[in-house]
Each structure stands twice: as C-alpha cells, then as structure tokens.
Structure 1
Amino acid sequence: MPDAAEMMDTPTKPAIEGSAAAAILLMLLDENEAATILKHLAPDEVRQLAKAMFDTANASEQQIGQALDRFVVRSRDVSALAIGADVRIRTVINQAVGNVRADNILAAVAPQRSAASLEILRWMDVEAISGLLAQEHPQVGALILSVLVPDVAARAIETLDEILQADLVLRAAMLTSVPAAAIEDLESVLASANVDGQRVAKQAIGGPSDVAKIMKKMPKSLSERTIRALKKTDKALAQAIEEEMFIFENLRDLDKKSLGSVLRSVDAAQLAVALKGADDDMVDLCLATMSKRASETIRDEMAEMTMVKRADVDDAQKTVMTIVRQMAASGDIMIAGGGDDYV
C-alpha cells in the first residue's frame, strides 16, 4: 500500500472537455459512421469538432479512456424511446390512419425541420452571402438575412449600399412567417448549391427581435444610420427594433454608476412595478445602486403589492427602457453592445 507521500505525489487525472471527448469518439469510429454523425450537426459544431479532432490526434491512452467513460455515463441518461423515435412515430401514424391523414396530423404536431436551402446558407462565407444580398430581390435578401446568425448577418450587410441596407432591414423586420413560394424562390437562387426543392410549412423567422440582434452586432455609426433611415419609412417598426435592442434584462450590462443614474430618473412607484416582474438578483442589483432609504421604500412598495398584471409590469419596464435610450442618446450613459462600439 503506498504511503501518504506517494499518494500526494500522484497527479490528479484531468477531466477531458466535451468537444475533445466527442472528437476522440469520432476518430475511433469508421469514417462512414463518423461522417453520418457529422451530417446531423450545425456548421459551427462541425468546425469545432474538426479543430478538436486535430488537437486530439495524439491523444493518450488515458484520454481515450476518459472519453469512453464520459460517453458511457452520458448514454445512461438517453431514453431508449428517443432512439429512432421520429421514424417509428411516423410509421405508426401512417399505418393507423393512412398516408394523407398522417401527413396532416404530423404537419401540425411534429417538430419543424429547417428547409435544406435555409441550412445551406449557414455554410456560406460572409462575402458570398453579401453578394447574394446585393444581387437578389430585397424580399429574398430579407429572408436570407433573417435566417443567418446575427453576427454573420451584420457583417454581410455592412458593405451594402445604404438604401439597400435600410430596405433589407425593413423587410426582415416585417417578416412573421414565410410561405412555401418564398422558400422556392430562395431555392432557385441557391440552385447551384444543389439544394433539393421541396415545399415546406411556414416557418416563424425574422421580425423586430431578430433584426435587433443583427443591429446590435453592427458598428454604432452603421446601426444609427440604418435606424434613422428606417424611421423615415416606418417609425413604429423602427421603435420596436430599438426597444428590442436593449431590453429590461440588459440593465445588468450597465455599470453601477450608469444604472444608478437611470434608476434615480424613474418614478419610485413605477420602478417598484417594473422590478416586481424581475428575479431576485435583478432586484438586488438595481436597489444596490440606490441609497438605503430609497431601496427600503421600493422594497416596501413591492411587498405591499399583491397580484400585478403582466401588462402593467411590461409597461413599467418599457418606461424604464425609454429613459435608458434617452440618456444614452444624450451621452449621459453608455450602453454596451455587440458591435464595434454600439452605445
């Protein structure tokens, strides 16, 4: 039996990271089997795994063992019902009610699958996407813009003409669902990528929320210019996008001084209603910027409230955010954003 000194000298076995473990498991599989698995992953996941596979090419026996152990442990949490569930469910419903009725039922209840054309966009580089946005009809461009990851969309739109930028943002913000005909137009645009044509159900994409995420990734000057142009066309829509760009939850991103400045400008009763809909951490964060007396007053008002309508909470929070945007516009506070220097 080793003595205490020897036990202390024994190095602790380092835990292997998830991506490294997955990479090792893929490399242990047959090439065709590994390729089949990768086909079901998103572009970013494939890129991450590809890098991890290079990094773990010289994995030790110990690391391989850790990866296998991790796989076994995680596999215990996977329900046997989940394996091949989609195919089994569709087969059962088809046999029970026939193909036509089954299609109608499954179209309403089955998880939606992205059209192949929308998926292929996620694999294209920014320059190619930007070229598509510049060449194609703005409605097709708006669909492309809405499907992309926000930071990719922001970079793709950055080099476009100012008028086209505003038009694309307007159209993307007005999207709610996409008919099959629009998907078919996009499929024809991407025909060179060998996308299989197929009619698909309407998909909920786009809208002010998605556009706001894109705008936050843009440099400050570009986002401000685009919002100004959008206001000339649809002021209400531009305001909706601005509201989505910085929501009540994002108060966490303000520094303590800025947050305190904002909250001191809000009516105490209205702030109490706004915080009534926030979690305890947010309440503590906000009240920590105030004097002891002021914070106690707010807490007392919140305690005296019973049931508060969600609509009243939303209105109070919007009022707070209106003050945030006014103070940001006047330069009194700085709002952190995802772009180069968005305030």
Structure 2
Amino acid sequence: MAKAPSKNIVDTSRLTGAEKCAVILLALGEEHAAVWKALDEDEIKEISQAMAGLGNVTASVVEQLLMEFVAGMANTGAIMGSFEQTQRLLATIMPEHKVESLMEEIRGPAGRTMWDKLGNVNEAVLANYLKNEYPQTVAVVLSKIKPDHASRVLSSLPEDFALECVMRMLRMEPVQRDILDKIEQTLRIEFMSNLARTTKRDSHEMMADIFNAFDRQTEARFITALEERNREAAERIRALMFVFEDLSKLDPGGVQTLLRTVEKDRLALSLKGASDTLREMFFSNMSERASKIMREDMESMGPVRLKDVDQAQMAIVQVAKDLANKGEIMLAGSGNGDDELIY
C-alpha cells in the first residue's frame, strides 16, 4: 500500500492551480463530490494526481483557500491528501474500473502523459514487455519516447527483433490518432497498471545503495561478514554497487591497467553485451592489431547466452574493484553523484 506523502504545505503561494483545487475538493469531502461532475476527464486526472501528492495541508492554508469553511475546518486543523482519500472521493463520481485505472497511473512512474511515464521506466523492464509485441507497435512506442531512452531499450531487445523494429521505424508513416490511442490504452491497461502493482525494489539493490554509502573500512567489514554467511548475496551486492557499464568512467590509465589484468577471452565475451560506447573505449586503448583480433574473436563467437555474458561482466567488475582496493585504478561511483568514489 502506498504511504501518504510526507511534505507539509504551509504557504499557498507555492501551490499550483491543481493543488489549490485539490485542497478545496478535499475540504468539501465526499458529501459534495458532485462538484467533480463539472470537470472533464483531463481536469479530473490533473487534480487527482495533485491531490494524491498533497501530504499535510495546514489549517492556515485551508483558511486562505476556503474562507467560508473556516469554522468547519477548525475542528480538524488540517486535512490529509493521500492515495486512499483520493480513491474514495473518485469512487463517488466515476465507475470503479476507471478509478482503479486512474489510481494505478498515479502510483506508476511519474509523468503527465503515457510517453512521459514510459520515459521513467527502466529500459530492461520496458524491453522485457515490448519483446512480446509486434515490431510495428514497438516502433511506434520507441518513436514517441526520448531518443536516449529508446536507444537503451533497443539495446536491451533481442538483436534480430531490435533490427526489425529499426527497419519499421525507418519506413514509418504518420500514425493515425485512433491507432495511437489504442496503443496508449493497451500500455495503460496491460503494462503500467501491472507495473504499478508488481514493481518492488530488489533487496540486493537497496543494500547495494546502503553499502555504497559506507566508508571503505565499514564496507569491507560488512562484506566480509556477509560472505561468511551468504556468499551469493555478498557477490550480488558487490556487482550492484558498481556495474560493468560504469567502467566507461575509467581514465585511460585505468583502462590500460585493467586490460593488462583481465583475461582476453573473458573481456571479449563481456563486450558482446556492452554498449557501443564502452566497446569503443576498450578498443581505442588497444593496439590496432589487438583491437582487430578482439573484434574477430567476438564475431567468431556467434550468439552467446545472456547468462554467460553477465557472469563475464561480473567477473571483470570484480577485477576492477580488486585493482581499486590496491590503489591501482580509481572507480567513479555509479549511484550517488559524480564526486563519489568506490574503493
């Protein structure tokens, strides 16, 4: 269940128009829910989203916005805007299935439009859904989200399928409004609603963030203790604290040191699943002959299992962290700001 927002509103000057409407409608309560019938669907959606994120609204703010109800508000001193309260109010004026759909949207990734929301969905999660859709549908979706996000989603799709989607995008004609509406509706019902219900942060990711915030000695102490009890969990947290793509932040000297240390076969396998940027970074730090041999080795591998690539990448990340522990390279942190370092 979603928790109530924790912010505390004490100044009306900082409220948007939608937030002011939300406060007033909350103050009116369910008994006067008929007021909502005068609003169109877009207005209802905007005000509902504002209402769900209000948090605590002080009595003085309510008094300023709704002077004629000061006496009634004096008993409570404040009102609370929450998902549950918003859902109860909407249920008095809208069909249940519409209320549920709207609330799932509000709970889902932030964004005004469906395409804004998709832009806030992890590329791997979005790719996992889209890989089961028709290439033409995927082409439409990718054409509507931001290019940098679309590129990450494409790279997470099976290669042949991704190429087919690219070909469809190249030949794409303007999409008719009714078709676009149908795609948006499908995404809302089949994807965003399920995402809002099932999205749960992996506990290892949470612990990786906590471990990232430790100083070097504390991190080493906890990791060592965890390895004795659950080596697999410790290894997963290590990998999440610094991912393979974060090696792109290495300086040239660090890349050279890493290249001298890692096994070439393992590097070739790991680069099969790397971004073009990261591949070129490694190739540019090799001699022309070594780079050519590495490219040929990768090509001769043919299709490789994703599991094998992941294992190779995790192994190289561990080598990089070992080198960092020895002070031979410096790794820029991936999750807590540009200035943080992971040792």
TM-score when scaled to structure 2? 0.44
Higher normalized strand content (fraction of residues) = 2
TM-score when scaled to structure 1? 0.44
